[in-house]
C-alpha cells in the first residue's frame, strides 16, 4: 500500500510539473508575457483579438500541446518496446516506423504536396513499415522478438537510404533545406489542426497501452512462461506494436524525426518507479511530455533563429543517457 501511495504522489507531482511547464512555456518566447497576463488569457479565452490573446491561443498553446503529445508518445512507445523486446537499448526507431515515416515525409516535400498530404503520406508510410516487418517475419516462418528486431533494422536501413536518395534528388535552393529542417524535427508549424491530428492516434494508442500494461509485464517474460500463464503472446505483441507504431507515426507526421527521447525517458522513468509497466508507462508518458516541452522552449528561446528539436534532444540525451548508465551500473550489485 505504501508503494501505491508513493506512486500516486509521484503521478500527481508529474502532472503538476507538466502544468507548471505549460504556464512557463506560455510566458517564454521572443515576445515575453508576464505570468498574470497568461493566466488572464487562459481564464478568458474569448477576450478579444489583442496581441497577448493571439500569442497565447494561436501561437504558443497549440505548439506546447503538440510538443507534449510528441514527447509523451515517444516516452510511452519507448518504454513499451523495451519491455516487449526485453532490451533496454531498444527505442522507437528499432521497429522501422520512424524511418518509414521519414521517407513518407521527404517524398511528399520533394513532390511539393500540401501539408495535409505530407502528414498523410508520413503516417501511411510509417504504418506501412510495420506491415513490411511482419511480412518479412512471415516469409521467414517465425515471429519472435529477434526476427522482428532484425526486420526492423533491415527496413530502417532501407528507408534511410531512400531518404538520402530524396535529399540527393531535391532542389538545393529550396526543397533540400526544407527536407533537412523537417528531418531534424520542429514544432514551428504547429496549429490546432495538427494538434487534433496528433491527439486522436496518440490518445487512443496510449489508452489501449495503459489498459494492457499489466499484460506487457507478461510479454517481458520468456514466451513459454507467458503462454503458461494464459497469454496469447503473438496477438498481444501485434496489438502492442501497432499501438507503438501509431504513436511514432503520429509524432513524425506532425513534428519530423526526433531521436533520443524514446531511449532516455524510459530509463529515467524506470529509475523512478522500477520495471513494472503498470507504473512505468504512465510515468514515461508524463516525463516524455514534460521533457519535450523543455526542449521546445530551448529551441525557440536560445537564439533568434529557431534551433531544430533533434539537435537539442541529441545534445541533452547523450549525456543524460551516459549518466543514467553510470548511475544504474554503480547501484546494481557486482
Distance CA 284, CA 63 (A): 21
Distance CA 299, CA 328 (A): 30
67's grid cell: 510538443
Inform me whether the pLDDT recorded for 221 exceeds 90: no
Domain total for the chain?
A: 1
- Integer Rg of the chain from CA: 20
**How much of the chain, in percent, has pLDDT values that exceed 70?**
98
Handedness of CA 66, 71, 72, 77 (dihedral sign): positive
CA distances from 255 to 46, 121, 153, 293 (A): 28, 14, 23, 13
Report residue 234's pLDDT band, with 50, 70 and 90 as the boundaries.
Answer: confident
Residue 292 is predicted with a pLDDT of: 97
Distance CA 11, CA 197 (A): 26
Following CA atoms 261, 254, 178, 304 in sequence, which dihedral angle do they give, to the nearest 10 degrees? Answer: -70
Q: pLDDT tens-digit profile of 261-306?
A: 999 999 999 999 988 999 999 999 999 999 999 999 999 999 888 8
Element spanning 315, H or E: helix 309-331
Residue 116 is predicted with a pLDDT of: 86
Report the CATH number at residue 187.
1.10.3470.10
Which one, of 100, 90, 169, lies nearest residue 131 by Cα?
Answer: 100
Residue 334 is predicted with a pLDDT of: 52
Report residue 17's pLDDT band, with 50, 70 and 90 as the boundaries.
Answer: very high
Query: Does some domain include residue 100?
Result: yes
Distance CA 315, CA 300 (A): 16
Domain that holds residue 233: 74-258
Inform me whether the pLDDT recorded for 49 exceeds 80: no
Provide the CB-side half-sphere exposure for 56 (13 A, CA). Answer: 25
Query: Does some domain include residue 219?
Result: yes
Cβ distance 273 to 7 under 8 Å? yes
**How much of the chain, in percent, has pLDDT values that exceed 90?**
65
Q: pLDDT tens-digit profile of 112-133?
A: 988 889 889 999 999 999 999 9
Distance CA 67, CA 289 (A): 7
Report residue 1's pLDDT band, with 50, 70 and 90 as the boundaries.
Answer: low
Q: pLDDT tens-digit profile of 76-113?
A: 999 999 998 888 888 888 888 999 999 999 999 999 98
Residue 329 burial class via C-beta count within 10 angstroms: exposed 0-12, middle 13-18, buried 19 and up? exposed
Cβ distance 151 to 129 under 8 Å? no
Average pLDDT, the chain: 90
Which one, of 73, 69, 45, 54, lies nearest residue 195 by Cα?
Answer: 69
Cβ distance 137 to 105 under 8 Å? no
Query: Does some domain include residue 66?
Result: no
Residue 70 is predicted with a pLDDT of: 97
Query: Does some domain include residue 108?
Result: yes
Longest dimension (CA), the chain: 64
Query: Does some domain include residue 238?
Result: yes
Report residue 48's pLDDT band, with 50, 70 and 90 as the boundaries.
Answer: low
Residue 144 is predicted with a pLDDT of: 81
Distance CA 253, CA 9 (A): 34
Q: pLDDT tens-digit profile of 150-207?
A: 999 999 999 999 999 999 999 988 899 999 999 999 999 999 999 998 999 999 999 9
Query: Does some domain include residue 183?
Result: yes
Which one, of 287, 151, 286, 266, lies nearest residue 216 by Cα?
Answer: 266
Query: Does some domain include residue 169?
Result: yes
Residue 303 is predicted with a pLDDT of: 86
Report residue 332's pLDDT band, with 50, 70 and 90 as the boundaries.
Answer: low
Question: b vs e for 70-97, b when ≥16 Cβ sit within 10 Å of the residue's Cβ?
Answer: bbbbbbbbbbbbbbbbeebebbbbbbbb
Query: Does some domain include residue 245?
Result: yes
Distance CA 143, CA 217 (A): 19
Residue 333 is predicted with a pLDDT of: 58
Amino acid at each position: 500500500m505504501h508503494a501505491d501511495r508513493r506512486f500516486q504522489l509521484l503521478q500527481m507531482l508529474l502532472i503538476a510539473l507538466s502544468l507548471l511547464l505549460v504556464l512557463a512555456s506560455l510566458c517564454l518566447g521572443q515576445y515575453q508575457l508576464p505570468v498574470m497576463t497568461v493566466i488572464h488569457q487562459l481564464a478568458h479565452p474569448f477576450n478579444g483579438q489583442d496581441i497577448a490573446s493571439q500569442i497565447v491561443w494561436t501561437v504558443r498553446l497549440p505548439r506546447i500541446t503538440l510538443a507534449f503529445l510528441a514527447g509523451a508518445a515517444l516516452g510511452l512507445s519507448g518504454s513499451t518496446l523495451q519491455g516487449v523486446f526485453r532490451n533496454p537499448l531498444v527505442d522507437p526507431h528499432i521497429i522501422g516506423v520512424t524511418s518509414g515515416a521519414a521517407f513518407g515525409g521527404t517524398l511528399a516535400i520533394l513532390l511539393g504536396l500540401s501539408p495535409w498530404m505530407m502528414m498523410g503520406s508520413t503516417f501511411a508510410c510509417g504504418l506501412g513499415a510495420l506491415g513490411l516487418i511482419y511480412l518479412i517475419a512471415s516469409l521467414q516462418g517465425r515471429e519472435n522478438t529477434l526476427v522482428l528486431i532484425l526486420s526492423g533494422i533491415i527496413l530502417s536501413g532501407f528507408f534511410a537510404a531512400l531518404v538520402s536518395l530524396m535529399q540527393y534528388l531535391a532542389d538545393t535552393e529550396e526543397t533540400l533545406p526544407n527536407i533537412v529542417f523537417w528531418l531534424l524535427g520542429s514544432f514551428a508549424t504547429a496549429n490546432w489542426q495538427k494538434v487534433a491530428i496528433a491527439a486522436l492516434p496518440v490518445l487512443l494508442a496510449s489508452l489501449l497501452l495503459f489498459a494492457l500494461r499489466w499484460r506487457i509485464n507478461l510479454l517481458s517474460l520468456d514466451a513459454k512462461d507467458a503462454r503458461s500463464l494464459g497469454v496469447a503472446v503473438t496477438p498481444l505483441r501485434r496489438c502492442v506494436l501497432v499501438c507503438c507504431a501509431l504513436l511514432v507515426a503520429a509524432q513524425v507526421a506532425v513534428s519530423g524525426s526526433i531521436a533520443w527521447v524514446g531511449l532516455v525517458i524510459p530509463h529515467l522513468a524506470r529509475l523512478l518507479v522500477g520495471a513494472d509497466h503498470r507504473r512505468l508507462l504512465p510515468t514515461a508518458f508524463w516525463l516524455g511530455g514534460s521533457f519535450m516541452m523543455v526542449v521546445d522552449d530551448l529551441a525557440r528561446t536560445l537564439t533568434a533563429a529557431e534551433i531544430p528539436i533533434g539537435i537539442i534532444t541529441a545534445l541533452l540525451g547523450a549525456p543524460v543517457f551516459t549518466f543514467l548508465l553510470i548511475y544504474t551500473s554503480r547501484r546494481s550489485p557486482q
